[in-house]
Structure 1
């Protein structure tokens, strides 16, 4: 097939897309600063090139055919991406642009969002579009430039990893439930429900092994999709959680939560910032990666100027 048939000119596509949106050649002509006859001719040329009918013509009225409606849907996506890419290219002159970031929900809400105003202060021209994601996926296919996630080995197909921080797992409990414990030793926790996150099914078992406790003493509690929900359950006196310290730093400082047994923390999974290989030198992605690495180097506790009421 002739490649030209598969790649109509931009003038033809713009005339079609505008006419389809307005359902009018006249209004499309006004939008594109062309004559009505020029727009009509462009659409007719596109139909001849594709050898399909895009519009039903009834006098001066036009209506998309089913084929035309399907074509509009795909063409609109393509034109939108072209316009977005053009705006990105223009914005680079001023150090701006935008990026799409995937982040674990708990890390996003508890660690990233309280800090990200500092990124905007340093890079006012860059916008970060945040998507909550759990687990690995195809970054390029999903349109994601950068991801923040945990990993046993720092590997993510199609991405380059930079370590952010290690994970210290701590046992957390509500003050009310803590008052019912016989003691604050590891063995005393076995009398309470041990809450779990679905993505980390072995975390309590590993902890029991490290504490040299028999696994048959575990009282496995409810499983939660999100760490945020698990922490709400802990605060509701349902059971004990085993979570990354940097996610509960504020609650431990204010006394909303307590360490169920101090001195019994353990190392968990490391956290990384993953950059899609083809976006490694993409200016907004590079600026964000360097910034988030600096933030992680400051430690889990929020700097004083990062606190928001």
Structure 2
């Protein structure tokens, strides 16, 4: 067996893997900073070396063949292992190294970042590079080592450490509810209701929980970020239903008024990462610090 045929060059493999993920030479070329024709030629060279067709044409689009789909699955895991090995080498070569951490923006600004100085004091050899992510984190490109995100925690392809169970609480500007009337469910129901666009229908659940007719809801603006919603609440635009842990300091300092009892959301904040990253010294240090910080 010709071992050269079994070990194509990395440039050919990267061109195929990017084209296969996108099923597009154009998007693969943009990702790899190459021309479309260069990516196409590299894929053709790889097909000739392997003696199989990896793509077929459907009009102006390219579609993986069955063997191409199989090759992508196996190759993706292999490239991820190579990237992980490289990260480990870099980390060991520079002490503890760096951690590329994806965070929900408001969680980062209100909970993690105010505490991060304690991590640096205990781990002076580590740098944490923070990347804001609203949507689910994609670990396949190797650009993120770990993420703190919120959800069910049922992600079998990842190592998951539950951190905090999420509870939602109604918050309002003290000035908005300063008329002296009792602040109860009826009072809140009469306000403009603000919500984060990506969240489930929280207010509908809240109305049902308090036995209020849904047609009484006065829906207000939606926001992409919880931090923007909270600023709108502070400004008196309306009331919000937000994670309790994100507003504890504002409530404590009197910037916001918390109304009623917290409601469990059935979601959990988790630290999650691919198993291949578990050996990273920077991630080991951060994981241990984070779980200790939370009393885990």
Give me the TM-score of the superposition, normalised by structure 1.
Answer: 0.66
Alignment-derived partner of residue 281 in structure 1: 279
Deviation for aligned residue 1:89: 2.8
2:119 alignment partner, SS class: helix
Distance in 1 of aligned mates of 2:135 and 2:295: 24
Deviation for aligned residue 1:296: 2.3
Deviation for aligned residue 1:217: 1.3
Deviation for aligned residue 1:139: 1.3
Aligned pair in 2 of structure 1 residues 105, 7: CA closer, same or farther (>3 Å)? closer
Deviation for aligned residue 1:180: 4.1
Alignment-derived partner of residue 157 in structure 2: 158
1:113 alignment partner, SS class: helix
| Matching of residues 107-122 of structure 1 within 5 Å | 107-122=107-122
Aligned pair in 2 of structure 1 residues 109, 278: CA closer, same or farther (>3 Å)? same
| Matching of residues 146-185 of structure 1 within 5 Å | 146-151=146-151, 153-156=152-155, 158-180=157-179, 182-185=181-184
Deviation for aligned residue 1:210: 1.6
Deviation for aligned residue 1:105: 0.4
Distance in 1 of aligned mates of 2:294 and 2:213: 36
2:141 alignment partner, SS class: helix
| RMSD between aligned residues | 2.8
Alignment-derived partner of residue 89 in structure 1: 92
Q: Residue by residue, what CA displacement relative to the aligned partner does 1:157-209 show, whole Å, maximum 9, x if unpaired?
A: 53111110112211111111012474211121111111000111311111112
2:229 alignment partner, SS class: helix
Alignment-derived partner of residue 207 in structure 2: 208
Distance in 2 of aligned mates of 1:187 and 1:149: 33
Unaligned runs of 5+ in 1: 9-65, 72-79, 299-309
Alignment-derived partner of residue 24 in structure 2: none
Distance in 2 of aligned mates of 1:141 and 1:87: 17
Distance in 1 of aligned mates of 2:84 and 2:288: 27
Alignment-derived partner of residue 104 in structure 2: 104
Alignment-derived partner of residue 50 in structure 2: none
Give me the TM-score of the superposition, normalised by structure 2.
Answer: 0.69
Q: Residue by residue, what CA displacement relative to the aligned partner does 1:62-116 show, whole Å, maximum 9, x if unpaired?
A: xxxx98xx89xxxxxxxx999876532313xx4x111110010010000000001
Deviation for aligned residue 1:286: 1.6
Aligned pair in 2 of structure 1 residues 210, 297: CA closer, same or farther (>3 Å)? farther
Larger Cα Rg: Structure 1 or Structure 2? 1
Distance in 2 of aligned mates of 1:286 and 1:253: 33
Paired positions, count: 226
Deviation for aligned residue 1:293: 1.6
